[in-house]
Amino acid sequence: MPSRLTKTPTSSAAAAAVGLTLFAAPATAQEAPEEAAEATAANSPLMIGHRGAAGTAPENTVAAFKDGRASGADFFEIDVQLSKDGVPFLFHDDTPARTTNVEEVFPERANDPITSFTWTELQQLDAGSYFSEEFDGERIPHLDDAAKVATINTGIYIEIKSPKNSPGIEQVVADELRTDAKWKKLVDADKIQVLSFDEASNRKFADIAPEIELQQLSSKVPGPEVLAEWATFADSVGTNYRTLTAQNVADTKAAGLIIGVYTANSPEAVQHSIDLGVDAVTGDFPIQTMRYLDGQKPFPAATGIEIADAVNNPAGSDLQPETGEHVVLRNTTDRAIDASGYIIRDAANNILTVGEGYVLEPGAELRVYTGPGTNAADAYYNGGDANVLNNTGDSIALWSPEGNLQDVFGN
């Protein structure tokens, strides 16, 4: 099944037009074009903002969709489910606990299925304040809200999320794409793709709407026989960049399928994926990724403190005193920098902080631990009682106390 996906030219001006802070737009970004980055941009794959732009705005909200569009990326991705009364809404998790104020609005329902809420109930939830105060009042969007933000330059990846919890969702999405004028415009411009981890759901959607681009998601790329079978109903494969190999890429393309990866957030992860020859890269930080591909500094407000390493799975317990999981920060400049109040945030919005009084001398490192321990000049302990870092690899971002993005690290 030949794919209709095409690469759309990107604009560094669009990437620079949106603020790079949690709380306010920064000063004018300083550009630092490099020949290597320019060469990468000329041959870059499709770029997709994950859940809109989940690194710089609350995921699956209109604010995140606007960041994804302003980045100049080719697409932004959304997750669609059905409410109890059949309304298509945009939300990733199976429950509302992580990204809404459900415990305040509906006590005792935090761990109920998100699809057990009616559309009216969903609209009573705040889906933005968990990320920062700037986004207080952001609501769970309707499927059509994404189409209002998208353009013929920045289209939409529509992931059908947990279809077993939303019976009939394939038909609902297909009908919307065919009947709503905003969606039809995007379909006509080849700026829509539907995707799912659920093969049965993808096959059902392919039968209902064979004219729509379709992607099979999988945590790992299977062997040639399975890929050949997928090629009978899908146009592309999306997989975790951490598990992808050059052989996987070759096998996928040999089957006539496009190969994409998720969720490549750091410039290094993006470049690694490009070097493997992928056709599409999805990430939480499309603004920063597009700046990198345009030969600019991805983090123009950076002060010089970077994430040097993350020890996700130490020997013993992740929360053992003194030597548990931690992130390593490093001062890369020739001046002392006060790291007090810096924030480390992962993709699930778990947060580690740096305590007061931590001034890093040039070249100095600071270990920031999740669990308990004795604070020292080169170590700060958050004293948490739950592990934060994923043992198989994590994406973490460093923010200044003012909300300026400093660095993104992936392992």
**For residues 175 and 80, what is the distance between their CA atoms, to the nearest angstrom?**
14
User: Does the pLDDT of residue 28 top 50, yes or no?
Assistant: no
> In angstroms, rounded to a whole number, what is the distance separating the alpha carbons of residues 193 and 266?
24
pLDDT of residue 208: 98
The DSSP string of 302-368 is: --SEEEEEEE-S-SS-TT-TTTSSEEEEEE-SSS-EE-TT-EEEETT--EEE--TT-EEPTT-EEEE
- Taking 70 as the threshold, does the pLDDT of residue 32 lie above it? no
Mean pLDDT over 363-381 rounds to 98
Note the maximum CA span of the chain.
62
pLDDT band at 44 (very low <50, low <70, confident <90, very high): confident
Give me the residues paired with residue 331 across strands: 305
Strand partners, 77: 157
* CB-CB contact of 379 with 335 (8 Å): no
Q: Does the pLDDT value for residue 24 go beyond 90?
A: no
**Listed residue (193, 105, 99) closest to 146, CA to CA:** 193
User: Average per-residue pLDDT in the chain?
Assistant: 92
pLDDT for the residue numbered 38: 52
Position 10 confidence tier, pLDDT thresholds 50, 70, 90: very low
Residue 269 has pLDDT above 80, yes or no: yes
Q: pLDDT over 70 for what percent of the chain? A: 90
| Mean pLDDT (whole number) for 68-75 | 98
Whether 27 shows a pLDDT value over 80: the answer reads: no
pLDDT digits (tens, 9 = 90+) for 169-227: 999 999 999 999 999 999 999 999 999 999 999 999 999 999 999 999 999 999 999 99
User: What pLDDT, on a 0 to 100 scale, did the predictor assign at position 42?
Assistant: 53
Indicate whether 287 pLDDT > 50: yes
Q: How far apart are CA 57 and CA 91, in angstroms?
A: 14
Give the Å distances, CA to CA, from 335 to 29, 262, 306, 359: 21, 36, 14, 10
10 is written with which tokens? 């990107």
Looking up tokens 């994404």 gives: 146
Do 212 and 205 contact (CB within 8 A), yes or no? Answer: yes
Instruction: Dig out the tokens for 360 from the structure.
Output: 């890093």
Q: Region 140-158: what's the mean pLDDT?
A: 98
pLDDT tops 60 at residue 43: yes
Check pLDDT > 80 for residue 17.
no
* Site of tokens 């690194």: 55
Neighbours of 356 (CB within 10 A): 10
> What average pLDDT score do residues 267-274 get?
97
DSSP-derived letter for residue 133 is G
Q: How far apart are the first and last CA of the chain?
A: 34
Q: What is the pLDDT, as a whole number, of residue 237?
A: 98
**Pairwise CA distance, residues 353 & 199, whole Å:** 40
pLDDT in tens, 82-125: 999 999 999 999 999 999 999 999 999 999 999 999 999 999 99
Which domains, ranges and CATH numbers included, belong to the chain?
12-293 (3.20.20.190), 305-410 (2.60.40.1260)
Q: What single letter denotes the amino acid at residue 366?
A: L
Give the pLDDT of residue 6: 44
Cβ contact 84:114 at 8 Å: no
State how far the Cα of 49 lies from the Cα of 12, in Å rounded to an integer.
16
What does the DSSP 8-state code read for residue 376?
Answer: B
Which pLDDT band, with edges at 50, 70 and 90, does 4 fall under?
A: very low
| DSSP-assigned letters across all residues of 281-297 | EEES-HHHHHHHHTTS-
pLDDT at residue 34 in the model: 52
pLDDT of res. 18: 35
Residue 126, pLDDT > 80, answer yes
